[in-house]
Chains A and B, each alone.
Chain A
Amino acid sequence: MSRRLKRELTTLVEEKVISPEVANDIAGFYEKKNQGSSSKIITIFGVFGALLISLGIILIIAHNWDNISKLSKTIMAFIPLVIGQLSCLYAYLKKPDNAAWKEGSAGFLFFAVAATISLISQIYNIPGNFSVFLLSWMLLTVPLVYIMNVSLVGLFYLIGITVYACEKGYWEYPLDQPFTYWLLLIIILPHYWKYFKMKNFGNFFHFYSWSIVLSLTISLGAFSQSHEEIMFVTYLLMMGVFYQIGQLDNFKERSLIANPFALIGSLGTIFILLMLSFNWYWEDLSNRLWEVSLLITSFEFISSLALAITLIYLLLKRHRHFVLSRFYLLEAAAFCIILLIIIGLFNASISIVLANILVLLVGINTIAKGAHVDSLVILNYGLSIIAALTVCRFFDTNISFVVRGILFVLVGAGFFAANYWFLKQRNKTIES
């Protein structure tokens, strides 16, 4: 408890504002609170300490020991692994309630497994395939999440499987669709679900939410092979599903930064809509020769179908009693784009115009939503969408600089006017 608080409590007792018993209760309450926060600090430092030790061991991978025998080098290579395993055993048996011990030892073992595999590869000059190494590493360490009930390894695991998907789908040659990624993701989901069930919405839950959202966003593109135009729809539908998940009770009441589903779902939708407001997409779409049998068996189509069904289910569940004023056009943007794609196959020009009108309408709807729910942030978000659309059109349309300048002035003036009107309304409400 701070000295200032002690002094204040003494003053309050002397002035007979509170009784000595109440003062003792208050002092006791803050003592307990500080203990809680100091044990959190120890956990954090414990985790950082384990991370630094783990990274130090990884750095040893770069060092070769030519002057000692292969057998000695092999024994040394196993040392980090054995130490990690023993410390995990110790934490599990003797310190089961100590988060610092469990998280630290499991984190150490996570990196020790990689270090040992890498050291053995160096000592024996084993040529490596990075994706195979990643897969082995992740599969050998993910059971720790469930056996020891630790979360840090789960976060590292999510990063690891994302890198695996990128390696197979973006970087390795020849490129391959990393279907194993989905199985790897399913492995970790029960641990995340446990946070929901136990209503444990602390820091690790937020880290997990962010990791899952970012992992899916980064990895989905790795599956694109032959129908890239449809992959945009897949992404839009996934963003739509994210947004709906972000409107569930467990997420809705939280701050933006604690609701990655809503935040990424919304920003992702706007970003893709803006990309689709350019000519190139619709020209590519209409010029392409589509083969139906290849299209309906492609990953892009099948995943889009599955996501569309999921999104319709979530939308119907949320808008069971449809109220127009509560409906947000952004939620149905993916379906609007599907309609525009069907139109675009016959006439690209109409679809280009309609796509731009769609973004404008989403912006206006967002402004209206901001005014309706009394949120300056949402109102300005809507204005930013319109401003972003204007900037995009700045680059690809053949209108004169004067007209472009006028458009920018109008958008800027719109920002001022909307914010001024909103604050004036708010002040009026407060005064009345």
Chain B
Amino acid sequence: MANKKLGLILMVILFIAQLALTGNMIFQQEEIVVNGQLYKFKTAPLDPNDPFRGKYVRLYFQAQQVASEDTTWQRKEDAYILLDEDEEGYAIPKSISRQIPQGEQDFLRVKIRSKAYNQDLVYFDFPFDRFYMEESKAPKAEKLYLESRVDSLQTAYAEVSIYNGEAVIQDVKINGESLKDLVNKSN
């Protein structure tokens, strides 16, 4: 009987741990959205043959490089970029460092991809690289996205909340309109 009571207590603790871990995932993301600053990241043109994999949009961004004289950067190494905005209001990286920047400016944790050969330039990957869409909408979204790629008047970008070095992708837009809404309109 005592064993059964102990088993029950352990089971309840386990279930609380399971709920707590998944709850914590949500809490961390919501904290970034509520307390973070919203930035727009311009997306780069994609390979038209496979811009979508499975049920999510694979995102590639233009501003994934920054000047750096440091030649010791290693692939997959953690780094922090300070963010700024260009004249059109899109986020651009200002500088990169191995330590968390001090001060009030927004910064983002990234992973080093590679160092440019013969240039003081380093390439990195953002932590947000996919945007999930409902499977029936993906083909239509693909069509709209490809059209925006060839039309220079159209700009696609991702809206990302950034807080304390962490990021949450909120939406993907073309000329200010959500991709999901554009797909719904085209139905």
Contact = CB atoms under 8 A, between A and B. Distances in A.
Interface of A: 62-67, 74, 77-78, 81, 85, 88-89, 92-93, 96, 113, 116-117, 120-127, 136, 140, 143-144, 147-148, 173-174
B123 interface: no
A66 B137 contact: yes
22 contacts: A62-B55, A63-B134, A64-B55, A64-B135, A77-B22, A78-B22, A85-B18, A92-B8, A116-B22, A121-B25, A124-B29, A124-B168, A126-B29, A136-B21, A140-B18, A140-B21, A143-B10, A144-B14, A147-B14, A148-B11, A173-B76, A174-B76
Contacts of A93: 8
Nearest to B133: A64
Interface stretch (B37-45, B98-106, B124-132): B124-132
Contacts of A66: 133-134, 137, 180
Contact of A89 (B11, B128, B135): B11
Best-surrounded residue of B7, B8, B17, B128 (most CB of chain A within 10 A): B7
B143 interface: no
Contacts of B94: none
A66 B21 CA distance: 24
A136 to B, nearest CB: 6
Contacts of B26: 74, 120, 124
A92 B22 CA distance: 24
B54 interface: yes
A64 B134 contact: yes
B156 interface: no
Contacts of B133: 64, 66
Nearest to B9: A147
A174 B75 contact: yes
Contacts of B117: none
Nearest to B125: A127
B22 A127 contact: no
B18 A113 contact: yes
A127 B29 CA distance: 11
Nearest to A124: B29
A127 to B, nearest CB: 5
A123 B131 CA distance: 10
Question: Could you tell me the dominant secondary structure of chain A's interface residues?
Answer: helix
A124 B127 CA distance: 13
A148 B7 CA distance: 8
A126 B180 CA distance: 19
Best-surrounded residue of B10, B26, B55, B135 (most CB of chain A within 10 A): B26
A266 B75 CA distance: 42
Interface string B40-75: 000000000000001110000000000000000001
A116 B54 CA distance: 19
Contacts of B19: 78, 81
Contacts of B162: none
Interface range, B side: 20 to 34
Given A64-B55, A113-B18, A127 B127 contact: yes
A127 B11 contact: no
A393 B34 CA distance: 69
A147 B25 contact: no
A147 B18 CA distance: 15
Contact of A117 (B4, B25, B137): B25
Contact of A81 (B22, B29, B132): B22
Contacts of A123: 132
A326 to B, nearest CB: 46
A127 B55 CA distance: 14
Given A62-B135, A64-B55, A66-B180, A124 B25 contact: yes
Given A62-B55, A81-B18, A81-B19, 13 more contacts: A63-B134, A64-B55, A66-B180, A67-B134, A78-B22, A88-B15, A92-B7, A125-B131, A125-B168, A125-B169, A140-B17, A140-B21, A174-B75
Contact of B134 (A65, A81, A127, A173): A65
Nearest to A77: B22
Contacts of B55: 62-64
Contacts of A67: 134
Nearest to B16: A85
Contacts of A89: 11, 15
Nearest to A123: B132
A92 B7 CA distance: 9
A127 B158 CA distance: 15
B22 to A, nearest CB: 5
Contacts of A144: 14
B22 A147 contact: no
A127 B132 CA distance: 11
Contacts of B128: 125, 127
Best-surrounded residue of B19, B22, B168, B180 (most CB of chain A within 10 A): B22
A121 B21 CA distance: 12
B135 A63 contact: yes
A127 B126 CA distance: 10
A315 to B, nearest CB: 41
